[in-house]
Amino acid sequence: MTTTFMSEKQFFLTSESVTEGHPDKICDQLSDSVLDAILAQDPKARVACDCVVTTGLVLVTGEITTEAYVEIPDIIRQTVMDIGYDRAKYGFDGETCGVIVSIKEQSQDIALGVDEALECKLGEMEEECDDDGRGLGAGDQGMMIGFACNETPEYMPLSISLAHKLCQQLAAVRKDGTLSYLRPDGKSQVTIEYSYGKPVRVDTVVVSTQHGPDVTQEQIHADIVEHVVKPIIPAELLDGKTRYFINPTGRFVTGGPKGDAGLTGRKIIVDTYGGVARHGGGAFSGKDPTKVDRSATYMTRYIAKNLVAAGVADRLEVQVSYAIGVAHPTSVAVETFGTGKIPDEKITALVHDNFDMRPGAIINDLGLQRPIYRQTAAYGHFGRDDIDAPWEKLDKVEAIKKQAGL
């Protein structure tokens, strides 16, 4: 796909997003709300919190080791209400839903590897093992992917950028009363036509939104195009051939957990790059930053964004991998899709020279032991300037330019 995408005259790419009222996204926000509440009291807590929602019920499960005390049912109910499920007629609401909590401590076997990296045990980095927690081992094995491109100001693919903004606008017009018949569940999907790797137009827009029973589909279609699509998608990207599918099933009254069960971690492509980049497979929400599924993916985004902003490539993907209990990555790979301005091996050297990818270093350098995660659990973790996302900062650009001779 990479070669075809960059070399063909006409190519189509699609990304989707979902609103905060989508059942899976509800679960992501619940998990991260619990995580934030714990980190606010105990920054070094170990948290792996997963949630399930269905009609009238929330199940909270996972492994948590902490000195903090939080009322998990209260956090769950308030988050559900904040999302907008605050009345029984929606089929799910924070006041009346059941909340079941089944939490145990993190395995001591895992803690042994995380608390002290293998390199520290072997004496291979003694001078750093007690330095601000930089001697932590990775909390799991796996590979993590970061991506950036210069086709939008936020260094994100246009398709996922527009899909997220449509869902944010859908929520905004619901909350401010512009379209009072809307309910919290919803989805968007945007297909972009590219020519030789450059976006030229929006081919298809899909918006599905939960709504009250008394509104007509004709009104929904007109209102969504006028109040959601037009304010978000630049007019120059729309033309007479652009297709619109608004609530294509014809009715979306039953939604949220009453319509579908939800589960933490089932929207990992929505959370990242909309399918444009590869994905290591690990979800983010509910995990403290010792879990490299989360922290190392944030780090690879930070790396990729700074490299693209420095001009070393137009599109760039970084993969790192870890072994559980080991601090240093087992591999680092860079892919520039033929857009690199310098050889890929030199870009890889820039990565090693400018970024410390040990889990403890990532946590310290990005300031990740803070309650900043609920805000990431809807509308994407990347390309955001409306939230506190330290992995989006561009503080390495000048150093990279200088070293690369750009």
pLDDT (0 to 100) of residue 354:
96
Average of per-residue pLDDT values in the chain: 93
pLDDT (0 to 100) of residue 202:
98
Measured CA distances, 91 to 21, 83, 186, 301, 316 (Å): 12, 14, 15, 38, 44
pLDDT (0 to 100) of residue 207:
98
Angle at 207 (CA atoms; ends 201, 212), nearest 5 degrees: 155
pLDDT tens digits for range 251-271: 999 999 999 999 999 999 999
Residue 104's H or E segment, with its range, is strand 98-104
pLDDT (0 to 100) of residue 140:
86
Measured CA distances, 226 to 68, 170, 186 (Å): 47, 11, 17
pLDDT (0 to 100) of residue 107:
74
pLDDT (0 to 100) of residue 109:
63
Beta-carbon count within 10 A of 315 CB: 25
CA distance 353 to 303: 11
Measured CA distances, 82 to 66, 120, 285, 297 (Å): 26, 44, 18, 28
pLDDT (0 to 100) of residue 7:
78
The contacts of residue 349 (CB under 8 Å, 6+ apart) are none
Please choose, from the candidates 50, 57, 21, 279, the residue with its C-alpha nearest in 3D space to the C-alpha of residue 147.
279
Q: Which domains, from first to last, does the chain contain?
A: 2-19+158-255 (3.30.300.10), 23-114 (3.30.300.10), 142-153+265-404 (3.30.300.10)
pLDDT (0 to 100) of residue 39:
98
Residue bearing tokens 């599924």: 293
- Count Cβ atoms within 10 A of the Cβ of residue 102 and give its class: 0-12 exposed, 13-18 middle, 19 or more buried: exposed
Q: What is the mean pLDDT of each successive set of 10 residues along the chain, which is 406 residues long?
A: 71 97 98 98 96 97 95 97 91 93 83 67 67 74 96 97 98 97 97 94 97 95 97 96 96 93 97 96 96 97 98 97 93 95 95 95 96 98 96 97 91
Rg (CA), the chain: 22
The full DSSP string for 116-161 is: S-HHHHTTSSGGGTTSTTTTPPPSS-EEEEEEEESSSTTSS-HHHH
pLDDT (0 to 100) of residue 84:
95
CA distance 154 to 156: 6
CA distance 362 to 338: 29
